[in-house]
Structure 1
Amino acid sequence: MLLERIYDEDLSHASYFIGCQATGDAIVIDPSRDISAYQELAKTNGMRIAHVTETHIHADFLSGTRELGNATGATVHLSGEGGEDWQYGYENERLTDGDIITVGNLELQVVHTPGHTPEHLSFLLTDTVTADEPGFMFTGDFVFVGDLGRPDLLDEAAGGVDTRYVGAAQLYRSLKEKLLPLPDYVQILPAHGAGSACGKALGSVPTTTVGYERTFSWWGRHLAAADEQGFVDELLEGQPDAPAYFGRMKRQNREGPTLLGTRPALPELDLDTVRAGLEKSALTFVDTRDQHGVHTGTVKDAINIPAWNKPAVHAGWVLDPESDHRPLVLLADGPDTAHHLRSHLIRVGIDNVEGFVTGFEGLPTFVPDMVAPQDLESIDYALLLDVRNKSEFAQGTIPGAKQLSAGRVLWHQDLLPETGTIISFCQSGVRNSVASSALRRAGHRVVELEGSYLGWQAALQQQADLQKQTALVK
């Protein structure tokens, strides 16, 4: 048996390539929409991707199940559980609890594990050549390392009303009836790791076991004590902000993501052509540098999406391809960076990259407004905006600040002042630069706090040290 974990650091997403080396057949579970890694694995190992499946209708990324099935001719298997409201809108073979997918000498048993979502499935894998019992469970967003899939996403991102309580109760039963009866040695292979917004405290190690989670996890203690209410309360408390684009991912994944097929190389565009497009407001310019580069000067109304720092996540926060169909032009240091960014943008359904430029000489430019922490009190502003997550905000913020996370701010402009200056900050400046660029493009006057919250804390400490030194001298 061949088992490969393909991990996307950008989206904290794990997918799995599982192959039978005797027959050459393989299956992919929870694939990304950039399918090149799976095709390369199949080619390298002389295998054929015969099956593709996913654990549930994902919210945090656009699924590659349909794309990979179309490219390889593989059979697409999708959940038939959860009721009619949770059925996929494109052709597939429906799976229900207890079904078996046979991949050469491997068997994957379908286990309905609702809670995170009503249709959620897990897969128990048995290598029939060496064992007659399963040794692995692919749990999707059911069980993570040290945590569980959150049951409130349908409320937070998909328009649900109080579905979190039903989901939490379902999750308790799924754990009790489907996971805990398994032997301790069964390995758990989840769909996400640390950094994912699909849970609140995901571990950074790739796998765990049923026995370890039963013994040491927070939820294992509640189940051991038959404390369902305590379980529900702890599960729902302190969940992170859900980015607004999660709702779009849910809809598109259910309906069926647009097929990409073979994509041509991105062209390097002529600056005169780009200038003409910007003058007509017919293009969206994306600056792919980090915030330090952007703060030295950028193209007017450019969106900042750092190419090498979670570009898919940041793009999902500030670009909405459903309402803005203008093609994207990337500022990149060359074709490799441009193609890297495009491969990440498609993972959140942003497909309209027209090309790239390597400079912006002659284009309309501006330098983002900044304010030093020590000058904050001297600025007249309408709102001091903390774009960190609510959990970070709860641990401490600048006095007078209001919280609205970077992943939600563009979709909740009704909560922002219609006039006046907004001073914004995050923890170190990365998220703030992304969110601020989008708010400026939307017409707001935004001034970024130099160094963001860490810079403010450092300035506060410096002031305290200076006062202490002055007192000692006296």
Structure 2
Amino acid sequence: MYFKQLVKEDLGCASYIMGCLNAGVCAVVDPRIDMVDEILTLATNRGMYIEAIIETHIHADHVSGHGDLARRTGARIYMHELAQVSFAHQELKDDEELLFGTVRVRVIHTPGHRPEHIALAVSDTNRGSDPWLVLTGDSLFIGDLARPDLAIPGLEGADALYESIFERLLKMNECVEIYPSHVAGSLCGRQMDAKTSSTMGFERKYNPALTVHSRAAFVRDMNENLPVRPPNMATIIERNKEDYTRHLPAPSPEPLDILSFQRAMKQGALILDTRTPDAFCLGHIPGAFQVSLHGSAFSTRVGFLIPLPPKKNLLLVVENTQDFTQASEQLAVVGYEHICGYLQGNMESWKAARLPMQKLEQLHVEELYEQLNRLVVLDVRDVREWCEGHIAGAWHIPFYELEQRLGELDTTRFYAVICAGGQRSALAGSLLQHHGFEQVFNIIDGMSAWRTLRLPEEWE
């Protein structure tokens, strides 16, 4: 038996290859669109033909690679019979079995995260008939359980998840290994462990999400403290339902000279500046959004900042062509496929042409402290961070809620935007400037610097 876990830490995604080396055949489970080349290389190097592509469910946080992989290999796509998708696929039923040489895969219908969700119990018949491992998809995570509110009303989803977990998966032998489709960093759960695999016995004993004893308490608990949903999740789900098995990849966007870049701007394309916060603050194209490519959670933060309609074009400002390649790949994973190009010569060419530029002024925390009487402090951190300590009198709007709550702010006030270290505050500052706020300041190093100087805080 051959088994390989592939993990992408940016969104906490895991895909799998499993098969029989002697028979030269394998199946791929939950392939992400940017994993396809790696999967093909691994299968080829092991002398295995990809016979099947199995999706545990319709994913909401990333674009699947099943269409590209099916087009390039001829493999059949498998999904549960409740999946309502437009592409050709083989419908799977509960307890159905698939064989790949000596590898046997049993389908376990485990709704809760989504109605069509399945887990896959995998046996190596060379060693025995019992399952060796189970691919739990988005049901049982390491140290957590899947959120129940993405496709089913939360209470109904949690009730179905209770049945899937306690009456199906936890009935398996404690030695069975667990491999989920999401790990730490994903928004599909709440408090996933950084480890990427476990055993049924260990999770049964130590997973905090399994300690709730009554069904009613479980349903209530699973609908509390859920991560906020990026607005582009609905777009990703619809994208993953469409037929991409015959679509050739779009040609790579080219660098755009200034005139071409401006032409695209006039046609309504939005600008995403992926440089560092410091570089952005020193000078950027007016109206540009800023999310640092090399900061934390790049693609997730773009999803919160720019909830694009499917056909909306995007222009990038990058430091170099390598950054453009990396940025466009990460954006494609979360559904931003209409990138019409990037600024040739980066911001240096824009400056040389003496075109209009905008600055996002920055303040050190000492300067902020001295000017608190004239500035409105806007704290854009998460609720948990806010409750652990914040500046007295500050307004709290998490950055991912700012677009919807702009009406609470006065465009004539002076706003000092702060987060933990300066990345989310620069992002939020760019959003405010995009919407016409002129007196905006980014606080350098944020609350980390404030606490280093032991400046006063209050708690809730």
* Shorter-chain TM-score tier: 0.7 to 0.9
Following the alignment from structure 1 to structure 2, what is the Cα–Cα distance between the partners of residues 435 and 46? 49
> Which of 207, 211, 225 does residue 221 from structure 1 map onto?
211
Equivalent residues in 2 for 1:90-239, closer than 5 Å: 90-154=87-151, 163-222=153-212, 226-239=213-226
Question: Which residue pairs with 2:363 in the alignment?
Answer: 371
Cα deviation, residue 412, structure 1: 5.0
Change (3 A) 1:95 1:386: farther
Following the alignment from structure 1 to structure 2, what is the Cα–Cα distance between the partners of residues 403 and 258? 45
Cα deviation, residue 53, structure 1: 1.7
> Which of 227, 230, 254 does residue 241 from structure 2 map onto?
254
Question: Which residue pairs with 2:446 in the alignment?
Answer: 452
Question: Which residue pairs with 1:467 in the alignment?
Answer: none
Cα deviation, residue 120, structure 1: 1.3
Alignment: residue pair count: 447
Question: Which residue pairs with 1:285 in the alignment?
Answer: 271
Worse-matched range after superposition: 265-274 or 424-433: 265-274
Worse-matched range after superposition: 123-132 or 179-188: 123-132
Change (3 A) 1:440 1:89: farther
Question: Which residue pairs with 1:62 in the alignment?
Answer: 63
- Secondary structure (helix, strand or coil) at the match of 1:407 reads helix
Please list the CA deviations of residues 190-209 of structure 1 after superposition, one character each: whole Å capped at 9, or x if unmatched.
11111222111100011011
Identity %: 28
Following the alignment from structure 1 to structure 2, what is the Cα–Cα distance between the partners of residues 123 and 9? 23
Question: Which residue pairs with 2:338 in the alignment?
Answer: 352
Change (3 A) 1:251 1:70: same
Following the alignment from structure 1 to structure 2, what is the Cα–Cα distance between the partners of residues 197 and 111? 23
Cα deviation, residue 330, structure 1: 3.5
Question: Which residue pairs with 1:407 in the alignment?
Answer: 400
Structure 2 contact 411–436 (Cα < 8 Å) conserved = no
Change (3 A) 1:385 1:77: farther
Structure 1 contact 63–257 (Cα < 8 Å) conserved = no
Question: Which residue pairs with 1:157 in the alignment?
Answer: none
Following the alignment from structure 2 to structure 1, what is the Cα–Cα distance between the partners of residues 376 and 80? 46
**Structure 2 unmatched runs, 5+:** none
Structure 2 contact 380–398 (Cα < 8 Å) conserved = yes
Following the alignment from structure 1 to structure 2, what is the Cα–Cα distance between the partners of residues 349 and 275? 24
Check if 1:442 corresponds to 2:429.
Answer: no
Please list the CA deviations of residues 188-245 of structure 1 after superposition, one character each: whole Å capped at 9, or x if unmatched.
10111112221111000110110001111223333xxx42233334333322222222
Change (3 A) 1:41 1:371: same
Change (3 A) 1:412 1:463: closer
Change (3 A) 1:22 1:417: farther
Q: Give the letter for the 1:151 counterpart.
A: P
Question: Which residue pairs with 1:29 in the alignment?
Answer: 29
- Secondary structure (helix, strand or coil) at the match of 1:147 reads coil
Question: Which residue pairs with 2:417 in the alignment?
Answer: 424
Worse-matched range after superposition: 97-106 or 130-139: 97-106
Q: Give the letter for the 2:309 counterpart.
A: E
Change (3 A) 1:454 1:381: same
Structure 1 contact 381–423 (Cα < 8 Å) conserved = no
Q: Give the letter for the 1:359 counterpart.
A: N
Please list the CA deviations of residues 368-408 of structure 1 after superposition, one character each: whole Å capped at 9, or x if unmatched.
12333344463677964333233333333333344443334
Change (3 A) 1:62 1:394: farther
Question: Which residue pairs with 2:379 in the alignment?
Answer: 386
Q: CA RMSD in A?
A: 2.7
Please list the CA deviations of residues 230-265 of structure 1 after superposition, one character each: whole Å capped at 9, or x if unmatched.
333433332222222223223333345697633444
Following the alignment from structure 2 to structure 1, what is the Cα–Cα distance between the partners of residues 412 and 47? 62
- Secondary structure (helix, strand or coil) at the match of 2:322 reads helix
Question: Which residue pairs with 2:49 in the alignment?
Answer: 48
Following the alignment from structure 2 to structure 1, what is the Cα–Cα distance between the partners of residues 416 and 149? 31
Structure 1 contact 241–390 (Cα < 8 Å) conserved = no
- Secondary structure (helix, strand or coil) at the match of 1:343 reads helix
Question: Which residue pairs with 1:39 in the alignment?
Answer: 40
Please list the CA deviations of residues 142-172 of structure 1 after superposition, one character each: whole Å capped at 9, or x if unmatched.
0111110111334xxxxx6xx2112222222
Change (3 A) 1:63 1:416: farther
Change (3 A) 1:92 1:165: same
TM-score (norm 2): 0.88
Worse-matched range after superposition: 439-448 or 143-152: 439-448
- Secondary structure (helix, strand or coil) at the match of 1:231 reads helix
- Secondary structure (helix, strand or coil) at the match of 1:176 reads helix
Question: Which residue pairs with 2:286 in the alignment?
Answer: 300
Following the alignment from structure 2 to structure 1, what is the Cα–Cα distance between the partners of residues 279 and 112? 44
Following the alignment from structure 1 to structure 2, what is the Cα–Cα distance between the partners of residues 266 and 282? 17
Change (3 A) 1:442 1:41: farther
Change (3 A) 1:130 1:2: same
Question: Which residue pairs with 1:313 in the alignment?
Answer: 300
Structure 2 contact 316–324 (Cα < 8 Å) conserved = no
Worse-matched range after superposition: 292-301 or 127-136: 292-301
Following the alignment from structure 2 to structure 1, what is the Cα–Cα distance between the partners of residues 276 and 282? 11
- Secondary structure (helix, strand or coil) at the match of 2:302 reads helix
Structure 1 contact 380–421 (Cα < 8 Å) conserved = no
- Secondary structure (helix, strand or coil) at the match of 1:250 reads helix
**Structure 1 unmatched runs, 5+:** 155-159, 465-474
Please list the CA deviations of residues 107-161 of structure 1 after superposition, one character each: whole Å capped at 9, or x if unmatched.
211111112222211111112222211111111110111110111334xxxxx6x
Following the alignment from structure 1 to structure 2, what is the Cα–Cα distance between the partners of residues 298 and 418? 20
Change (3 A) 1:105 1:444: farther
